[in-house]
Structure 1
Amino acid sequence: MKIKKGYVLKNLSNKHIVVPVGEEAINFSGLITLNESGKLLFETLGNDVSLDDLVSKLLDAYEIDEETARKDATAFVDKLRGKQIIE
């Protein structure tokens, strides 16, 4: 899975914001604000990765257990899928 073409990550006023561009700007209304872990996952999803890859990224970056990392990564992916941002 990976982020669909047409979504970029911007840093505005020290906030990480996902912005639709091009044709996606017509189809998607609004912006998505991310925290640091969301930013890490979004950047990782710039490439075709698996859920296990996302879990590994969280485990490498934060002092959390695998269950928490998997729960957080799954919730993040589910939200992006619900907004049709992942392909």
Structure 2
Amino acid sequence: MRLRSAELSTRTIGDETIVLSLATSRYFAITGVGTRLFELLAEETSVDALVGTIVAEYDVDDATARRDVEAFVERLRDARLLH
């Protein structure tokens, strides 16, 4: 999976990323670890790879990271921001 980058306009300021879906004209604000996940999703990746990166970079256990990554990815899918 990866972002539909050609259909998105983004701007990151600090730890907040503002996303405009050009396909739906909807804005999204992504903060904190979500900004890091959004960066990682610019390239083809998997939930397992995302979880591994978050566990390695942040003070979080695998189960919590997996739950949060899966929820974040599901929200992006629902918003049609992922391939």
**Dislocated runs of 4+, deviation >3 Å:** 12-15
- TM-score of the pair, normalised by structure 2: 0.87
Residues 59 and 66, structure 1, Cα contact 8 Å, conserved in 2? yes
- Judging changes above 3 Å, is the alpha-carbon distance between structure 1 residues 73 and 14 closer, same or farther for their aligned structure 2 residues? closer
Alignment root-mean-square deviation, CA: 1.7
> Which structure 2 residue ranges, 5 or more long, are not aligned?
none
Of the structure 1 ranges 75-84 and 54-63, higher mean CA displacement relative to structure 2 is found in: 54-63
Aligned residues: 82
CA distance in structure 1 between the aligned counterparts of 2:10 and 2:63, rounded to whole angstroms:
27
Residues 10 and 19, structure 2, Cα contact 8 Å, conserved in 1? yes
Residues 10 and 19, structure 1, Cα contact 8 Å, conserved in 2? no
Of the structure 1 ranges 5-14 and 68-77, higher mean CA displacement relative to structure 2 is found in: 5-14
Structure 2 residue aligned with 1:51, among 21, 28, 47?
A: 47
> Which structure 1 residue ranges, 5 or more long, are not aligned?
none
Q: Tell me how far 1:36 sits from its aligned partner.
A: 1.8
Identity level (%)? 29
